[in-house]
Chains A and B, each alone.
Chain A
Amino acid sequence: QVQLVESGGGLVKPGGSLRLSCAASGFTFSDYYMSWIRQAPGKGLEWVSYISSSGSTIYYADSVKGRFTISRDNAKNSLYLQMNSLRAEDTAVYYCARAGYSYPADYWGQGTLVTVSS
């Protein structure tokens, strides 16, 4: 069965960095677009970034452009999100999802909490 397991969340100071990982299993990872989607405490869903199956197409929400970098390693069935210059408003649960441009999010991980606070 499809499984997506995020890791790497935690408490970080404003201006700091964090790298999230998502381990995928149960499907041919290299065939699918992948996305990061976040949800601030008590708020709605916000799409953050997606990457195509080969990694050649990448897109970011304006709120994270220039600060976050999405990447993938198809040999390791893994998705990553490098987050730099973190701000308090980046505090959220970050979900890894099998999703992207023209693909709905049909599978989601359980999420990893990122807290940006001094």
Chain B
Amino acid sequence: EIVLTQSPGTLSLSPGERATLSCRASQSVSSSYLAWYQQKPGQAPRLLIYGASSRATGIPDRFSGSGSGTDFTLTISRLEPEDFAVYYCQQYGSSPELTFGGGTKVEIK
């Protein structure tokens, strides 16, 4: 099973700042199969990024994904008030067991 470790656990930032979230895999993950999700309290998660760097339908271009191998990054270029949430990475094709990272909470400073 591929273990995904997200850091930091919590990121305290102000609106307008840049957020950089990390997802590290225990073994190499094909870039084709790395996704990022956003979850707000009481809501189902929403797909932001798939294939490591492709934005899902309707996702603003302030969200971008990058990385390869074992290190992946989600960047939010300028935080909007609605971006404060929990973010999860997921691998969905490098091993039969689909796995999620533990999440990063982006909170208002």
Q: Is A106 part of the contact surface with B, judged by Cβ < 8 Å?
A: yes
Binding site for A on B (CB under 8 A): 1, 32-33, 35, 37, 39, 44-47, 50, 56, 88, 90, 92-93, 96-103
**Dominant secondary structure of chain A at its interface with chain B:** strand
Q: Is A32 part of the contact surface with B, judged by Cβ < 8 Å?
A: no
Say whether B88 contacts A47, CB under 8 Å: no
Say whether B97 contacts A47, CB under 8 Å: yes
For the A-B complex, the count of residue pairs with Cβ-Cβ distances under 8 Å equals 61
Per-residue contact bits, chain A 39-62, to B (CB 8 Å; 1 contact, 0 not): 000001111001000000001011
- A61 to B39 Cα, complex, angstroms: 22
Say whether A104 contacts B88, CB under 8 Å: no
| Interface size range on A against B | 20 to 34
Q: Which residues of A contact B98 (CB under 8 A)?
A: 35, 47, 50, 99-101
Q: Is A118 part of the contact surface with B, judged by Cβ < 8 Å?
A: no
Closest to B98 in A: A47
- A44 to B104 Cα, complex, angstroms: 10
Q: Which residues of B contact A61 (CB under 8 A)?
A: 97
Say whether A104 contacts B44, CB under 8 Å: no
Binding site for B on A (CB under 8 A): 35, 44-47, 50, 59, 61-62, 95, 99-106, 108-111
CB of A86 to closest CB in B, whole Å: 21
- A104 to B32 Cα, complex, angstroms: 10
- A109 to B50 Cα, complex, angstroms: 19
